[in-house]
């Protein structure tokens, strides 16, 4: 029963990721109605639409470091709940937008507040999970993001733009009403010396008979030792290695093209001339993405993180190569429907590995005292990478065409396979101390 309660708490904590998913999925269904002027009383030009689509990622890049500071001072739970306010304001700006500036500001606020859950939610889940369930609960974040994207695709296909925006705006409110009843992370409480509250939190999550684990005891003991400066913590060998590995995973997560596919999925299928309406093609992608995340949740503690990442890179690279070659023949041979199949294979590859695991490993690669800061740095680089991809992809697509664009993505996926194979340690079943020791060890 205890593990079930922890699972419920983890799913409720990652409802913020569901809200983020609606923000990510919003662009595809809204693109046509915004561009033709039916959604609002104004029509953005191509540069303004590029800002509307991509400024969310820039907002995300500005969010992670402040989030890292807040979760270290205020706690994981309070930080997540506090971000509901800017999320709601962002959606109100989009619902009642009277000019492009309101849309741009709304998207920035949505990105800023939504991206905060990239750092706080995976950290909360890995801290409330038992060691044997850490990988599963670490994948809840990406599961909820995918559910949010699918929700946006479905609502965007069947309701008007106004009601679609409202349907997205109610998600942060629902998150607040449910998650407010969950406890603070026992790890955070122990770090702050609130031992009794930490025990109560642990017993709520894992049952009355839950053992006061050695890991929590060690964390609470940190208060009795001299605290290192930020510079010393970041200059540890294990922290530097962890940051480099985490940033590497974030780079490959974004530069294999996932946001190019998701943000511009509707227009991509229109260009490919499939026989399925583009809005329904995107729903198919969302369903495939949801189904593909399930094997990752089930297998991450059996096969480990590294094997899933290698499989992910291989399948993404193969799909992107075929996509690159296929775009050159779609119009000539009328085989546009292959684009849908190929994109679905890419989504499966991404969802099994490079979707959930980089976020999971934020909670595993760093020691507790530096996790918030190092995780926020890693999250910031992820959103900066996403901003670059979403801004540059449509421009490159116009200048050099989809064949070359997806060819570049396929080469990056191949590089991801090689570097993960050579550099990334397996963290399955290891405590944070064991992982830190492995990263800090000297090679002979």
At 225 the pLDDT is 46
Q: What is the pLDDT of residue 442?
A: 47
Contact yes or no for 415/249 (Cβ under 8 A): no
Question: Could you tell me the mean pLDDT of each successive run of 10 residues in the chain, 444 residues long?
Answer: 80 94 88 86 83 83 88 92 96 94 94 91 86 81 91 91 95 96 90 86 79 53 53 76 92 88 62 65 82 85 90 93 72 59 85 89 79 85 86 78 85 96 86 73 45
Query: What pLDDT does residue 334 have?
Result: 56
**Cβ-proximal residues to 6 (8 Å cutoff; 6+ apart), any chain:** 128, 129, 130, 133, 137, 205, 206
Q: Coil, strand or helix: which one is 436?
A: helix
User: Where in the chain are the domains?
Assistant: 2-182+226-440
User: What is the CATH architecture assignment of 2-182+226-440?
Assistant: Up-down Bundle (1.20)
State the CB neighbour count (10 A cutoff) for residue 107: 25
The pLDDT score that the predictor gives to residue 173 is 96
Residues 6+ apart with CB under 8 A from 117: 14, 16, 17, 19, 20, 80, 83, 141
The pLDDT assigned to 336 comes to: 56
pTM for the complete prediction?
0.82
Residue 266: which of 172, 354, 394 has the closest Cα?
A: 394
- Answer whether 259's CB lies under 8 Å from 60's CB: no
Q: How far is the C-alpha of 320 from the C-alpha of 401, rounded, in Å?
A: 14
Exposure string of 331-354, with b = 16+ CB inside 10 Å and e = fewer, is eeeeebbbbbebbbbbbbbbbbbb
d(CA 239, CA 219): 17
pLDDT value of position 411: 95
Question: Residue 133: its pLDDT value, please?
Answer: 78
């Amino acid at each position: 029963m205890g593990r079930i309660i922890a699972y419920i708490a983890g799913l409720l904590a990652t409802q913020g990721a569901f809200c983020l998913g609606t923000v990510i999925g919003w662009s595809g269904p809204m693109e046509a109605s915004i561009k033709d002027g039916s959604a609002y009383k104004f029509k953005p030009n191509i540069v303004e639409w590029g800002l509307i689509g991509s400024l969310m990622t820039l907002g995300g890049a500005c969010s992670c470091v402040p989030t890292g500071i807040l979760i270290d001072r205020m706690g994981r739970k309070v930080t997540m709940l506090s971000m509901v306010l800017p999320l709601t304001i962002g959606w109100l700006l989009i619902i009642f937008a009277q000019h492009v500036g309101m849309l741009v500001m709304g998207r920035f606020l949505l990105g800023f507040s939504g991206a905060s859950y990239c750092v706080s939610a995976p950290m909360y889940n890995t801290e409330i999970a038992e060691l044997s369930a850490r990988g599963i609960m670490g994948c809840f974040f990406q599961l909820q993001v995918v559910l949010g994207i699918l929700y946006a695709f479905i609502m965007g296909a069947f309701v008007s733009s106004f009601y679609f925006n409202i349907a997205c705006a109610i998600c942060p409110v629902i998150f607040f009403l449910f998650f407010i009843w969950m406890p603070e992370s026992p790890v955070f409480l122990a770090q702050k010396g609130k031992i009794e509250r930490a025990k109560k939190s642990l017993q709520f999550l894992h049952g009355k008979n839950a053992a006061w684990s050695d890991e929590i005891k060690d964390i609470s003991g940190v208060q009795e030792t001299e605290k290192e400066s930020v510079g010393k913590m970041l200059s540890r060998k294990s922290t530097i290695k962890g940051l480099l590995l985490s940033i590497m995973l974030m780079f490959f997560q974004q530069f294999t093209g996932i946001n190019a596919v998701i943000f511009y999925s509707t227009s991509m299928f229109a260009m490919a001339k499939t026989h399925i309406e583009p809005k329904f093609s995107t729903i198919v992608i969302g369903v495939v993405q949801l189904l593909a995340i399930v094997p990752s949740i089930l297998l991450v503690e059996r096969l480990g993180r590294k094997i899933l990442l290698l499989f992910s890179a291989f399948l993404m690279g193969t799909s992107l190569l075929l996509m690159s070659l296929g775009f050159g023949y779609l119009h000539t041979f009328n085989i546009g429907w292959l684009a849908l199949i190929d994109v679905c294979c890419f989504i499966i590859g991404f969802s099994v590995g490079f979707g959930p695991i980089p976020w999971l490993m934020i909670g595993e690669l760093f020691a507790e005292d530096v996790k918030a800061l190092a995780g926020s740095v890693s999250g910031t680089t992820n959103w900066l990478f996403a901003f670059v991809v979403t801004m540059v992809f449509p421009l490159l697509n116009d200048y050099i065409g989809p064949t070359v664009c997806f060819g570049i993505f396929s080469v990056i996926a191949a590089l991801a396979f090689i570097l993960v194979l050579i550099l990334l340690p397996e963290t399955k079943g290891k405590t944070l101390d064991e992982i830190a020791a492995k990263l800090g060890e000297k090679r002979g």
